[in-house]
Structure 1
Amino acid sequence: MARRARVLFLSQCLPYPPHTGVAARTFNILMQLQQSYDVDLVAFYRTTHQPNRRALEASWAALRQVVGSVAQPTPIPGEHSLVRRLWDHGRSLVTGRGYTFFEYDSRAFARRLRKVLRARTPDIVHLDSLDLHRWLPELPAVPITCTHHDIDSDLLRRRSRQLGPAERRYFLLQADRIERLERELCPRFAANVMMSAVDARRLRELAPGAATVVVPNGTDTDYFQPHCCGAIGKRVTFVGPTLSSYPNRDAVEFLLAEIWPRVRAVDGMTSLQLIGRHAPADHARYHAQSRVEALGQVPDIRPTLAAAGCCVVPIRIGGGTRLKILDAWAMGKAIVSTSIGCEGLDAVDGDNILIRDTPAGFAEAVVQILGDVELRRRLEQNGRRTAVERYSWSMVGKGLRDAYDAIGAAACAARYARSAGLPTSEREERRHDVAPAPPHPPAPSVPVGPPPHLAERQRREESLEW
């Protein structure tokens, strides 16, 4: 029996439970890759996903049932130490590197990655985010792919518009540094995995020569199915954690301040449910709004979605594609979204979704769906059809596996050409056999740890191994 190719998968989060956007995508991509490849997962974990040791152990155990091997998860150092976070920002300012270079700097992660590489050499390396670019020098000379959940430099610039002057300057500085990385690194990857054709086109504009493959987000169309739960009431639902996602937080504030009062002015019996992790202060503030219920993180969103007459996606910041729309489509739900919220999806205004960008227009569309049964049913049926025909994870996974098969074949051809003394283009050599080193401008030497007078305080704050 032929040996299965091996994929080393580096992730900035431990993708279980798959309740949030990035975690849901990463978990399902792992499941799809494991069908054709042996996958080794080396991942950081976040306290917003695994808040305690018990949750961490449960996530780790669950993922070991999904892929070939999962290294011991590594905490993100700055999540456990204010000193470390400040030190990382300081190093970014002094060196000219982006903040994420230091955010994911971890001795424990380095040890775990090296241990996996000593045991097994991968055929392909999958970076699940450009944030992990600092680990490129550690990787062997095999094809490397990078997933872009957003165009990160554009995302930072969009977010900066909502900030005060000082924060705006810092975010724009980081956006410039990330854009430099995108320009210099992305053409060297064997493939840049994009969420949408819109994102792929934008990356090629930023980084001429970058090879892109569109592998959109997906949904489990067997798990998320239309449910008959009796009469649909005048209930509106928004799905999205505000604790860990600035775009979702901005969306909820926009919804409550500018859209919801307009809906209530037309129909005072309409209610709103918010699903996702919220900070305690925000949770109480949301509940204080008239006919608003903040449910927090729920183990299963399907019953809440099934009872909704309309789902809303008032996103104003971000790229990629929205799993919240795909899941709602799969459930056969009528949706109102901003144009940014459904960017990159096969969303057709009036056919499978209503797209509105002004508060008044958005509120009017919500009221229209709740009051027009024929319109709602048309949107529901067409949304479900779109999810099944375009966005089931089985279809998405096949696209990624096909892309990886092509990358592997090209790498084999390049190795054969060299062994036979045949000419190989410098561009193909870079893409298929060289792990690119992260570029950076000349900068003064900066120590990897905090200055001595902060070291003892940092050690006291550390509760987990870095």
Structure 2
Amino acid sequence: MKILYVTKALIAPPYAGCMQRTVHIARQLKPCGQVTMLAINRRFDSDSVNVCRQEFSRFDQILLRSYTDFPKRRGELLRKFHMHWPTLCGIRADRQGQALFETLAAQHDVIWFHTLGAAQPFSLPRTTPMVMDLDDLNHCKYEQSARIQTTLRFRLSAHVQSYKWKRLEREALKRYAAVVVCSEQDKQLLGGDDKIFVVPNGFTLPAEKPTCGPPDPLRLGFIGTLGYHANHHGLIWFRDQVWPLILKQRPNASLRIIGALPPEKNRVKAEGFEYLGYIADPGPEMQTWSAMVVPIVYGGGTRIKILDAFSKRCPVVSTRIGAYGIDATDNIHFLLADTAEQFAERCLQLMDNPSWGKTLADEAWTLLTQKYQWETIGVEIRNVVSEVLKPICQP
């Protein structure tokens, strides 16, 4: 069997959440047969391309035009038009790119797209079975974003984009042989159709089970790129609403922030905030945290950073939106809080009681090993392919 895997997220470190999903689903498809990766984007870096060429027996790429390739005013108008028009989500491939896609599609038995954005540039074949991995439900992200916008203009924009993505996600059920989402909640939001399959995000376990040393009672942590608006907004909410309540009780507390360093002007600054930059192996650092905070107040899909904390046996305090889609239980696997007062209280409880944090981390580790290993999830991934091919294989 030959599978064409089409994605906009290349597999090069430092891994963002979507990159981790891309690489692991593609790897779990390999037992089904030969996997060809087709990467489409406005630009590629050589490290990403080299990683992909080493990972897959065949790797092709299509370079899309960028909005910056147009005159400035025209490019900006085109970008906004594509953002809000109900049937579009980006620039189409040119004739050469479309021809390469059609050639590859004809040579493969199944096409697996990672996100609607990976399929949108092309005219799609009518005969080859196709799988659409929606990953996040974008309509949820914009629906929640509309609630926090402070101006009428941005609220209207978010509502329009929510409507647009909801329509595109619903139409995917008609267009593709199978639709993949990250959680049972997302499946039900799309109507619970039998052709919707749940493939949760997972995380690779370390070679050895991490030890739980005594954490620093004055130290909390955060992981995420602040270039992603939901992370940036969440950290601002934490700084403005939660952090003063923590400092009132623990004046010397610190929040250690791991992730690609944003420009100085985009950093969320506060007394006790320490930026560490990207760390290839954050495990030793996370072992010193009393808790990892996930103060996300809007977004779609599941937060891989929570699974990352589970794999490091680091306690987690999260909003319910931050923990969305992860089949874990409050007060057993992590602590949930949605108001600033609750969030601060939860953090202070773990700073005061490290043994409770260890108990939460132990339960979270067990959950991760039972449900969120990619080797376990791989069974569901390959089942999607089997179901898609079943009508063709039946006499």
Quick check: TM above 0.5? yes
For residues 258-292 of structure 1, give each alpha carbon's deviation from its aligned partner in whole angstroms, at most 9, with x where no partner exists.
Answer: 11111111112221011223531345x43x41111
Residue of 302, 305, 330 corresponding to 2:283: 302
Distance 1:80 1:307, change over 3 A: farther
Contact persistence 1:240–1:324 (CA under 8 A) = yes
Partner of 2:262: 279
- 2:7 aligns with 11
User: Percent identity at matched positions?
Assistant: 25
AA partner of residue 241 (structure 2): E
Q: Which residue of 1 aligns with 2:232?
A: 249
Q: State the 1:231 CA deviation.
A: 5.0
Rounded to whole Å, the distance in 1 between the matches of 2:61 and 2:83 is 31
Partner Cα separation in structure 2 for residue 220 and residue 62 of structure 1: 18
Which whole-Å deviations, capped at 9, do the CAs of 1:133-169 have from their partners, x for residues lacking one? 4345333512111112222222212112233211222
Aligned partner of 2:393 in structure 1 is 412
Q: Distance in 2 between matches of 1:255 and 1:330?
A: 24
Query: Where does the alignment leave 5 or more consecutive residues of structure 2 unmatched?
Result: none
Match of 2:38 among 13, 25, 42: 42
**Quick check: 1:315 aligned with 2:296?**
yes
Which residue matches 2:191? Answer: 204
Aligned twin of 1:382: 363
1: CA distance, partners of 2:379 / 2:186: 20
Letter matched to residue 301 of structure 1: P
Alpha-carbon shift at residue 213 of structure 1 (Å) = 0.7
Q: CA deviation at 1:336?
A: 0.4
Number of aligned residue pairs: give it.
393
What residue is the counterpart of 2:110 in the other structure?
Answer: 124
Secondary structure at the counterpart of residue 391 of structure 2: helix
- What is residue 70 of structure 1 aligned with on the other side? 59
After superposition, residues 256-271 of structure 1 pair within 5 angstroms as 256-271=239-254
User: Aligned pair 1:149/2:132, yes or no?
Assistant: no
Contact 1:221 1:330 in 2 (8 A): yes
Rounded to whole Å, the distance in 1 between the matches of 2:359 and 2:341 is 23
1:240 equivalent in structure 2: 224
For residue 57 of structure 1, what is the amino acid of its counterpart? S
Cα distance change on mapping 1:242 and 1:80 into 2, 3 Å: farther
Match of 2:154 in 1: 167
Which amino acid counterpart does residue 262 of structure 1 have in structure 2? L
Cα distance change on mapping 1:93 and 1:103 into 2, 3 Å: same
Tell me the SS of whatever aligns to 1:138. Answer: coil
Are 1:277 and 1:296, in contact at CA under 8 Å, matched by a contact in 2?
yes
- For the structure 1 residues 404 and 381, does the alpha-carbon distance in structure 2 shift closer, same or farther, using more than 3 Å as the test? same
Deviates more, 1:83-92 or 1:361-370: 83-92
After superposition, the Cα gap between the structure-2 partners of 1:158 and 1:228, relative to the gap in structure 1 and judged at 3 Å, is closer
Deviates more, 1:299-308 or 1:366-375: 299-308
Contact 1:18-1:27 within 8 A present in 2 as well: no
Q: TM-score, normalised by structure 1?
A: 0.78
Contact 1:143 1:411 (8 Å CA) reproduced: no
Matched letter for residue 206 of structure 2: D
How far apart are residue 349 of structure 1 and its match? Answer: 0.8
- CA displacement, residues 399-437 of structure 1 (integer Å, 9 cap, x when unaligned): 101221222223222xx3xxxxxxxxxxxxxxxxxxxxx
Q: Deviations over 1:317-364 (max 9, x none)?
A: 112111100110011111001111111212111111001100110011
RMSD (CA atoms)? 2.5
Structure 1 residue runs of 5 or longer lacking an equivalent are: 51-55, 417-466
Report the 3-state secondary structure (helix = DSSP H, G, I; strand = E; otherwise coil) of the residue aligned with 1:311.
strand
Question: Distance in 2 between the 1:318 and 1:108 partners?
Answer: 35
Max Rg structure? 1
CA deviation map 1:213-260 (0-9, x unaligned): 1110000013584245565442111111111x1211111111111111
Change in CA separation of 1:14 and 1:93 when aligned onto 2, cut-off 3 Å: closer
Higher relative contact order (CA 8 A, sep 6+): 1
Contact 1:13–1:46 (CA under 8 A) maintained in structure 2: no
Post-superposition Cα deviations, 1:171-193, rounded to whole Å, max 9, x if no partner, equal: 22222222222222323322111
Which residue is equivalent to 1:176? 163
Matched with 2:46 is 57
Q: Is the 8 A contact 1:189 1:210 kept in 2?
A: no
Shift of 1:304: 2.3
User: Structure 1 residues 152-161 or 230-239, which shifts more?
Assistant: 230-239
* Contact 2:257–2:277 under 8 Å retained in 1: yes
1:86 is aligned, of 59, 70, 76, to 76
Q: 1:186 aligns with which of 173, 186, 199?
A: 173
Q: CA deviation at 1:29?
A: 1.1
Contact 2:290/2:354 (<8 A) preserved: no
Gap change, CA 1:92 and 1:139, over 3 Å in 2 = same
